[in-house]
Amino acid sequence: MESKRQQKFAGVIQEELASIFQREGAAYLPNTLVTITKVRVSPDLAVAKVYLSFLNTTNTALSVNQINAHANEIRYKLGAKIRHQARVIPTLTFFVDDTNEYVQRMDQIFDKIAKERKEEE
């Protein structure tokens, strides 16, 4: 469970990363909209796991690898924005947020179960 401090710091990181990707996201992934869905910060605030959602891309794994290749550059830009709010700028690691896919898969399973029950009756 994250502490209030971690949650607050994660919120600051999420806001600032969102503005970075909004303004300069095309440099990393042209014609792709990147959304920061969640940020998890370690207890010492030194490591941040950033979960991303992509729109208008065919290969999300490739997109995440491309973003991770620019992680140091993104961290530098983040540091310039939050340098007065944080002592240590966290190391950023980016992951795909597959929550929407999971929800769709679960909906399909529930629909299938409901359909099978109707057929039994």
In whole angstroms, give the CA distance from residue 111 to residue 120. 14
In whole angstroms, give the CA distance from residue 92 to residue 30. 21
Q: Return the structure tokens found at 20.
A: 């970075």
> What are the structural domains of the chain?
4-120 (3.30.300.20)
pTM tops 0.75, yes or no: yes
For position 120, what pLDDT does the model report? 78
pLDDT tens for each residue of the chain, 121 residues long: 889 999 999 999 999 999 999 998 888 888 888 999 999 999 999 999 999 988 888 888 899 999 999 999 999 999 999 999 888 999 999 999 887 778 888 888 998 888 888 887 7
DSSP 70: T
How buried is residue 50: exposed, middle or buried, by Cβ count under 10 Å (0-12/13-18/19+)? buried
Reference 45, options 101, 5, 103, 104; nearest CA is: 5
In whole angstroms, give the CA distance from residue 99 to residue 106. 10
Inter-CA distances, 23 with 14, 19, 30, 66, Å: 14, 6, 12, 17
Q: What is the pLDDT of residues 73-84, one digit of tens each?
A: 999 999 999 999
